[in-house]
Amino acid sequence: MNKKWMIGSLALSIGLISAGGGVMAASPSAGSAEIKKVAVSAPGKEGPATINNLTVKSIIPLVVHARALYFYSNRGGNIFPIETFTYKAQAYRYLSSDIGTKTKLMNYIKKAYTHNAAAYYVQTQFLEYNGRMSQVNADVGNLLMYEKATARMLSKTATTAEFELTVPYPDAQESSESVYVKLKKVEGYWRIDTSPDILF
């Protein structure tokens, strides 16, 4: 099971930097047909994942891309300065304008996740308040290094798949974690069918 900690924006920023690095290029053994592009650019500007041949090699860039989308949305986007309010005795912050409506947030998350996974995440982790999307004013994440994960295919059909990832911690601080990932093919490309907050 993933361990999550309350972490500051500095640690989250470091995670985002590592999430964005080295994702465009696939392993030579993966083959160019497997990964057309997994465009992880500036946080919030990530393009859709376009993996159409899912293998133990091509799933890693997809998961790293999905993590970048999660980290960006989970920290509220580009929220400087932070706008906060109190709702039911809990401090909330508004999301940045690029993901600040339910439609924008859903479209952003669906760049790597299925509609159902994105809908569950948005419904359980965010609050629509005064027509804007918001979230509890806290940062949660983990230090797992998905870019260094190894994958084992558990099952695969033409439209669904399940993998087990072995994901290390930095500098082998703790033993690796096993992470299970479910996927579905959506309009010709693979999308993660597990809610981001459950996966990461």
The reply to whether the predicted model has a pTM over 0.85 is no
Which domains are present in the chain? 7-193 (3.10.450.420)
Query: Which amino acid, one-letter code, is at 56?
Result: V
Q: Within 10 Å of residue 106's Cβ, how many Cβ atoms? A: 17
The per-residue pLDDT for range 53-97, each reduced to its tens digit, is 999 999 999 999 999 999 999 999 998 889 999 999 999 999 999
**Pairs from 146-151 (Cβ < 8 Å, separation ≥ 24):** 146/19, 146/60, 146/63, 146/64, 146/67, 147/18, 147/19, 147/21, 147/22, 147/23, 147/60, 147/64, 149/60, 149/63, 149/179, 150/56, 151/56, 151/57, 151/59, 151/60
Of the two residues 31 and 146, the one the predictor is more confident about is 146
